[in-house]
Structure formats: structure tokens, C-alpha cells
């Protein structure tokens, strides 16, 4: 199967390496990359523009690894309209334009695969679609943002200050200078959105998700959590209760010996709860060149086998942001306060800044 890779950055170069080293059933016919310095050691043809790729009938699949919702959106639309299969790692694109892109792929009878968009190396989406055809999935929860987990691990395991942990994350490339997507929770929001849509077989708008930024957490709050011998994780939760959906993400105060406190640095965990299988946990590297590239190549191999995602999004469960109540730590008049069990809406009415949700077993003890 002949493919074209667009974008030879961290992930794109990894995909090129894995395909050319190991995969005889796949052939990289073209690459397209703006930065010519990234073309060193590349044997494939360098396309002069997207049209050269789209007009070549030998190209079966376009691999979009540019990222973002700008030119990547245009290239993916054009590829689907030219009846090319598309593989991407682009969670921003998939979460925001899920309905449009899946419908366009179906209309043109081509496949759109995005395994690497959630959980890096963890191959979760393909099994999830099959699991969700057997079970009614009623909860998805996880630590699905490697950058924030790296920062919190540095703080709670290695005793880094918040500033030093952020500095280290920038230095190692975990945080981008021109993007707040990780600290503001946008990356986490996109991933829990994609997982929810595939689990519940329903389109969900990003604005229906409650998001508390990790940047709400201050050094003073971290010192407070440490003084209580507790830990903090940035967790996304999606629940279907009485046929209503609530999705939220926030910093969560957990016990130091709870299972999630053992998921550290770039590692991700995704727990899936279904009516027959109870809980299944998926754990693995959440980001990085080869972990992510391996998930892209997973999609390409599935593509050669023509085992397509089964996609039908016929459900229409209402979103209910009041479905569950939780206890929180808030900042009120400059002081850290613990609340009773409250809904997000009633909490927001108080005007207090939400610092973190408190896990039930922690609430009972503090
Ligand atoms: N990095 C990870 O660990 C990871 C994990 C999971 C998912 N992802 C997803 O994977 C995708 C790629 O991420 P990445 O980290 O590999 O990004 P990256 O390193 O910035 O690579 C993107 C590449 O695309 C090139 N590019 C930009 N516009 C282009 C255009 N019009 N035509 C051709 N090439 C163009 C960029 O060139 P310039 O540098 O010259 O702009 C850059 O080399 C994103 O959707 C990201 O969310 C990444």
C-alpha cells in the first residue's frame, strides 16, 4: 500500500522510520514538509504540493502529521474528497470536526483512522469501538495528558517546585512555548471527547465538557496538598448515568497509595467501565516520537487489512452538567477552602476559583 506522509516533525519522522525499516507491505511514496532541513536521509519522493499527492492514483492513504486545525483541516478535507484514506494523530482536528470528517469519509467510502490521537502508544480506540458494541460503556476515566503528568510527577515524586517543574517541561519539549493546550486542559478535553464519542456512539460538542485548568493550581496549594501527605493528578472523567452524559476534567486530590498515583511522568492510563466487563485499564506511553508513530503504523496496518472502524453515531443522550456532585478545594478570599458535595454550576455561582476535586476516600479523611 502506497502512502504519503505530510509533516515530518516529531511523529512524522518516526512514522517514516518505522515504515521504511520494518513494514514491507507499506511504501512511503511521497513526503511533504515545509522545513527542508527535515528531508535529510529521506528516500521517498518529495511532493511539490498537496495536489501532486492527491492527483496520484497510486497513493492509497494520506498520513496527516502537521497538527492543528488550520492547513491540516484543509488537507484532510481535500484528501477525503479525493477518495484517499486518511490516518492522523491530530486530536484537535478530530475532536472539533468529528461529525463532519466521519460523515465525509463515509460518504466517499474511505476510512479515517486516528488511533494515535489518544493515549500515544496505547492502542485504545480500535478495541474501544469493538468493546462498545458488546457492552454499554458507562464510564471512562484517565490520566491522558503526558505533559501535565510529567510536571505533577516532578513536583510530587522529586519534590520540584512548580516553577522548576514547568521549566524542565519546557526544556524537554513537553510544553510548547506558544501553546497553553496542556496546562489549560484543552489537550485532555479533546482526548476525553474522542473517547466519549466512540464509547457512547454519539457526537459531542467540546463546549459540553466542563474543564478546570491545571494552571489554577498554585505553589501554595501544592504545599498544602503535600502537607496533608496527599497527591494531585490531572484526571478526565466521562460518565453515562440514567441515559445522561456528564464529562469533566480537573486536578484531583488523591491518596498517595491510590492506583493513579503510580501512573507517573509520560505514562497514561485509560479506564473503561462497561456493563459486562466491569473495568479494563489501558496503560502506556502517552507521547513521544516512536510510541506515537507506532500507533500511526498500527492504523496503517489495519488499513491494509481493510478492517475499518465501525462508526455509527445514532445515539442522542442529553448532556447534563449537574449529573454528579463532588467535594472541591476552592480559593475564596485568598484562602484554600474545602467544600461540601456540590455541582459545578452551584460552585461556579459562588465565583470561587476551583483548585481541585477531592476524591471520595480522601474527603472522608480530611
Ligand atoms: N509529539 C507527540 O508526542 C504527539 C503525541 C500524540 C499526538 N501527536 C500529534 O501528532 C501531530 C504532529 O505532532 P508533532 O509533535 O509531530 O508536530 P511537529 O513536530 O511540529 O511536526 C509537524 C511538522 O509539520 C510541518 N508542517 C507544517 N505545516 C506544513 C505544511 N503546510 N506542509 C507540510 N508540512 C508542514 C512542520 O514544519 P515546520 O516545523 O517548518 O512548521 C513540522 O515539521 C499533531 O497533531 C499532534 O497533536 C503528537
CATH number for the domain harbouring residue 175: 3.30.360.10
Separation of CA 254 and ligand 1 centre (Å): 34
In this structure, the answer to whether residues 78 and 137 fall within a common structural domain is no
With a CB cutoff of 8 Å and minimum separation 6, the contacts of 242 are none
Number of folded domains that form the chain: 2
In this structure, the answer to whether residues 20 and 157 fall within a common structural domain is no
d(CA 94, CA 191): 9
Domain boundary among 89, 113, 137: 113
Q: Is the pLDDT of residue 307 over 70?
A: no
Reported as a single tens digit per residue, the pLDDT across 52-88 is 999 999 999 999 999 999 999 999 999 999 999 999 9
With a CB cutoff of 8 Å and minimum separation 6, the contacts of 64 are 6, 7, 72, 75, 76, 79, 86, 87, 88, 90, 93
Separation of CA 39 and ligand 1 centre (Å): 14
d(CA 93, CA 109): 20
Q: How many CA atoms lie less than 13 Å away from 100 in the CB half-sphere?
A: 12
In this structure, the answer to whether residues 339 and 203 fall within a common structural domain is yes
Supply the pLDDT for residue 273.
97
| Residue 173: pLDDT band with limits 50, 70, 90 | confident
The burial of 58, by beta-carbon neighbours within 10 Å (0-12 exposed, 13-18 middle, 19 or more buried), is given as: exposed
Separation of CA 299 and ligand 1 centre (Å): 18
In this structure, the answer to whether residues 273 and 206 fall within a common structural domain is yes
Q: Is the pLDDT of residue 177 over 80?
A: no
The burial of 53, by beta-carbon neighbours within 10 Å (0-12 exposed, 13-18 middle, 19 or more buried), is given as: buried
Annotate 217-237 with b (16+ C-beta within 10 A) or e (fewer).
Answer: beeebbeebeeeebbbbbbbb
Separation of CA 356 and ligand 1 centre (Å): 32
Comparing 179-183, 197-201, 311-315, which segment has the lowest mean pLDDT? 311-315
Answer yes or no: is 295 within a domain. no
Supply the pLDDT for residue 255.
97
Comparing 38-42, 94-98, 288-292, 348-352, which segment has the lowest mean pLDDT? 348-352
With a 6 Å cutoff on the Cβ, whether 286 touches ligand 1 is no
Phi, psi angles (nearest 5°) of residue 248 = -150, 155
With a 6 Å cutoff on the Cβ, whether 11 touches ligand 1 is yes
CATH of the domain at 10: 3.40.50.720
Supply the pLDDT for residue 179.
81
d(CA 265, CA 105): 36
Q: What is the DSSP letter of 253?
A: E
Answer yes or no: is 303 within a domain. no
User: Strand, helix or coil at 254?
Assistant: strand
Answer yes or no: is 231 within a domain. yes
User: Strand, helix or coil at 265?
Assistant: coil
User: Strand, helix or coil at 311?
Assistant: coil
In this structure, the answer to whether residues 208 and 346 fall within a common structural domain is yes
Supply the pLDDT for residue 310.
62
In this structure, the answer to whether residues 328 and 254 fall within a common structural domain is yes
Supply the pLDDT for residue 175.
85
**191-206 average pLDDT score:** 97
**What Å distances lie between residue 257 and 186, 192, 232, CA to CA?**
28, 25, 12
Average pLDDT, the chain: 95
| Residue 309: pLDDT band with limits 50, 70, 90 | low
Are 256 and 229 contacting, i.e. CB atoms less than 8 angstroms apart?
A: yes
d(CA 328, CA 318): 25
Domain boundary among 84, 113, 142: 113
pTM above 0.85, yes or no: yes
Answer yes or no: is 92 within a domain. yes
**What Å distances lie between residue 150 and 45, 96, 285, CA to CA?**
38, 26, 12
- Mutate which of 32, 65, 187, 296 for ligand 1? The one with the most ligand atoms within 8 Å of its CB, which is 65
d(CA 271, CA 238): 10
**303-326 average pLDDT score:** 86
CA-nearest residue for atom 21, ligand 1, is 9
With a 6 Å cutoff on the Cβ, whether 90 touches ligand 1 is yes
Closest to 90 (Cα-Cα) out of 60, 70, 61: 70
Q: What is the DSSP letter of 217?
A: -
Supply the pLDDT for residue 40.
93
Comparing 1-5, 149-153, 156-160, 304-308, which segment has the lowest mean pLDDT? 304-308
Max CA separation in the chain (angstroms) = 65
With a 6 Å cutoff on the Cβ, whether 111 touches ligand 1 is no
In this structure, the answer to whether residues 339 and 213 fall within a common structural domain is yes
In this structure, the answer to whether residues 103 and 157 fall within a common structural domain is no
Mark out the alpha helices in 139-247 (DSSP H runs): 146-157, 162-171, 186-200, 219-227
Supply the pLDDT for residue 210.
98
**106-135 average pLDDT score:** 94
With a 6 Å cutoff on the Cβ, whether 288 touches ligand 1 is yes
Answer yes or no: is 306 within a domain. no
- Mutate which of 11, 74, 146, 179 for ligand 1? The one with the most ligand atoms within 8 Å of its CB, which is 11
With a 6 Å cutoff on the Cβ, whether 12 touches ligand 1 is yes
Separation of CA 312 and ligand 1 centre (Å): 29
Q: Show the domain range for 359.
A: 127-285+317-363
Torsion of CA 35, 41, 45, 51, to 10 degrees: -20
In this structure, the answer to whether residues 98 and 135 fall within a common structural domain is no
Atom of ligand 1 nearest to the CA of 288: 3
**10-16 average pLDDT score:** 96
With a 6 Å cutoff on the Cβ, whether 292 touches ligand 1 is yes
**What Å distances lie between residue 67 and 63, 74, 89, 90, CA to CA?**
11, 12, 8, 5
| Residue 37: pLDDT band with limits 50, 70, 90 | very high
In this structure, the answer to whether residues 172 and 75 fall within a common structural domain is no
Long-range contacts of 167-174 (CB under 8 A, 24+ apart): 174/146, 174/147, 174/150, 174/266, 174/287
Supply the pLDDT for residue 176.
75
Supply the pLDDT for residue 306.
73
In this structure, the answer to whether residues 230 and 355 fall within a common structural domain is yes
Q: Is the pLDDT of residue 252 over 90?
A: yes
Catalytic residues: 191
In this structure, the answer to whether residues 84 and 154 fall within a common structural domain is no
**111-123 average pLDDT score:** 95
Amino acid at each position: 500500500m502506497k502512502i504519503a506522509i505530510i509533516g515530518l516533525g516529531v511523529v512524522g519522522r518516526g512514522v517514516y522510520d518505522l515504515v521504511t525499516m520494518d513494514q514491507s507491505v507499506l511504501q512511503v511514496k511521497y513526503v511533504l514538509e515545509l522545513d527542508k532541513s527535515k528531508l535529510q536521509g529521506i528516500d521517498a519522493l518529495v511532493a511539490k504540493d498537496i495536489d501532486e499527492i492527491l492527483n496520484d492514483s497510486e497513493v492509497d492513504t494520506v498520513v496527516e502529521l502537521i497538527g492543528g486545525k488550520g492547513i491540516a483541516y484543509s488537507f484532510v478535507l481535500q484528501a477525503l474528497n479525493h477518495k484517499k484514506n486518511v490516518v492522523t494523530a491530530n486530536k484537535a482536528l478530530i475532536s472539533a470536526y468529528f461529525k463532519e470528517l466521519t460523515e465525509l469519509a463515509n460518504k466517499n467510502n474511505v476510512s479515517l483512522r486516528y488511533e494515535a490521537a489518544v493515549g500515544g502508544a496505547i492502542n485504545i480506540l480500535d478495541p474501544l469501538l469493538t468493546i462498545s458494541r458488546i457492552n454499554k460503556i458507562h464510564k471512562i476515566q484517565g490520566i491522558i495528558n503526558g505533559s501535565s503528568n510529567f510536571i505533577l510527577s516532578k513536583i510530587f515524586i522529586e519534590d520540584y517546585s512548580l516553577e522548576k517543574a514547568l521549566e524542565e517541561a519546557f526544556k524537554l519539549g513537553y510544553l510548547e512555548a506558544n501553546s497553553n493546550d496542556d496546562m489549560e486542559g484543552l489537550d485532555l478535553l479533546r482526548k476525553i471527547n474522542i473517547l466519549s464519542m466512540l464509547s457512547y456512539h454519539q457526537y459531542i460538542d467540546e463546549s459540553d465538557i466542563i474543564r478546570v485548568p491545571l494552571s489554577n493550581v498554585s505553589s501554595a496549594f501544592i504545599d498544602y496538598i503535600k502537607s496533608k501527605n496527599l497527591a494531585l493528578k490531572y484526571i478526565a472523567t466521562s460518565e453515562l448515568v440514567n441515559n445522561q452524559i456528564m464529562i469533566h476534567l480537573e486536578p484531583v486530590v488523591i491518596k498517595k497509595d491510590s492506583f493513579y498515583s503510580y501512573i507517573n511522568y509520560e505514562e497514561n492510563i485509560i479506564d473503561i467501565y462497561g456493563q459486562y466487563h466491569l473495568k479494563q485499564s489501558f496503560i502506556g506511553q502517552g507521547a513521544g516520537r516512536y510510541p506515537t508513530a507506532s500507533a500511526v503504523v498500527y492504523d496503517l496496518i489495519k488499513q491494509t487489512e481493510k478492517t475499518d472502524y465501525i462508526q455509527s453515531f445514532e445515539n442522542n443522550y442529553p448532556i447534563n452538567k449537574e449529573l454528579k456532585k463532588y467535594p472541591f478545594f476552592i480559593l475564596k478570599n485568598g484562602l484554600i477552602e474545602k467544600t461540601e458535595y456540590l455541582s459545578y454550576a452551584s460552585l461556579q455561582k459562588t465565583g470561587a476559583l476551583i483548585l481541585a476535586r477531592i476524591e471520595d476516600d480522601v474527603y472522608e479523611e480530611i
